[in-house]
Amino acid sequence: MKRHQNTLFITTQGSYLSKEGECVVVHVEGSVVGKIPIHTIGNVVCFGQINCSPFLLGHCADNGVAISFLTENGRYMASVQGPVSGNVLLRREQYRRADCPKSSASIAQAIVAGKIANCRTVLRRSARDRESARLTEAADRLTMSLSSLAVALPLDTVRGIEGEAANTYFGVFNHMISEGRPSFHFTIRSRRPPLDRINCLLSFLYTLLMHDVRSALECAGLDPAVGFLHRDRPGRPSLALDLMEEFRPYVADRLALTLVNRGQIAESGFTVSENGAVFMSDATRKSVILAWQERKKEEVEHPFLQERMTVGLLWHMQARLLARHLRGDLDAYPPFAMR
């Protein structure tokens, strides 16, 4: 049975991380609250005012453990990692494909098809559970969007189809939220800052997903900064944003809906600032992180490989499938699309 390494999340403000032998040691207010062997950790994610010793940074780099720093509210700032791994020939081929409009459009089209298919799956499951005609109608519109991707299209056309499908999907997102949770009413997707509790929750989950996908791409020897659907921009992990599109609805959106509809997070777990921005409390953030880690432990069958694996391995498999396509081992990139 394959297992994915854990991500160590540090959320307590003022924490200090140090090295002791082969362990990461977590200090809070001068006391040791945890010792974690380095070989059991895949990544370390620090939220807010978290300090790390330089010896730990070097030790993590030597062991292939990336340390990422985010704001307390989950906005990505920077990562520390060791020397770039992977075959330089693979990365050079990635750059060549990214510079070729036809190749970029082909890979982007597969990614968008996977995303739309998974959005449709989420809508159909909710429509079946709630007997909602609106959700069924929206799912049918996404089927039409998928059919339009059956032929080769220019990149701008692919982006247009993706945008239209996203409007259809989020246009009925509120119908998937329990009527008993009016404080989590959703109207429109908003970012930087999120303007309601659902958007705040979605943005935080997308941040966690992006971090995991970025690490998976690094492990596969790909450059997370050079994408096909998302174009180059300084400081933006464009390929990570590409690959996570397939997992937004199936992993992040479904988890957000589960947490809200089952009452696992409360209205009081969020605060609204004077400018209307909504922020998550520390306790709620920890609850969401715990739910995220549990979600990654669930087992599913990969639709292309037809192997059972944990959810947390899915983006690693997709990164390797993309690498195989770039090397020429696969004629096309097979997107992740659950049945």
pLDDT digits (tens, 9 = 90+) for 239-271: 999 999 999 999 999 999 999 988 888 888 888
What are 129-184's pLDDT values in tens digits?
888 889 999 999 999 999 999 898 999 999 999 999 999 999 999 889 887 777 88
pLDDT in tens, 95-135: 999 999 999 999 999 999 999 999 999 999 998 888 888 99
What does the alpha-carbon distance between residue 227 and residue 94 come to, in Å, rounded to a whole number? 9
Among 225, 187, 204, 218, residue whose Cα is nearest residue 291: 204
Q: Domain residue spans in the chain?
A: 6-80, 88-327
Average pLDDT over all residues of the chain:
87
Residues 6+ apart with CB under 8 A from 221: 85, 86, 87, 90, 91, 323
Can you identify the CATH homologous superfamily of domain 6-80? CRISPR-associated endonuclease Cas1, N-terminal domain (3.100.10.20)
Closest Cα to residue 44, out of 211, 259, 265?
A: 211
The phi-psi region of residue 248 (left if phi > 0; otherwise alpha if psi is between -120 and 50; otherwise beta) is alpha
**How confident is the model at residue 2, as a pLDDT?**
43
Question: Which comes out higher in pLDDT, residue 235 or 141?
Answer: 141
Alpha carbon distance 127, 252 (integer Å)? 18
Q: What is the pLDDT of residue 84?
A: 61
Evaluate whether 195 touches 187 at the Cβ level (below 8 Å): no
pTM above 0.85, yes or no: no
Q: Do the Cβ atoms of 50 and 57 come closer than 8 Å?
A: no
User: Class for domain 88-327, per CATH?
Assistant: mainly alpha
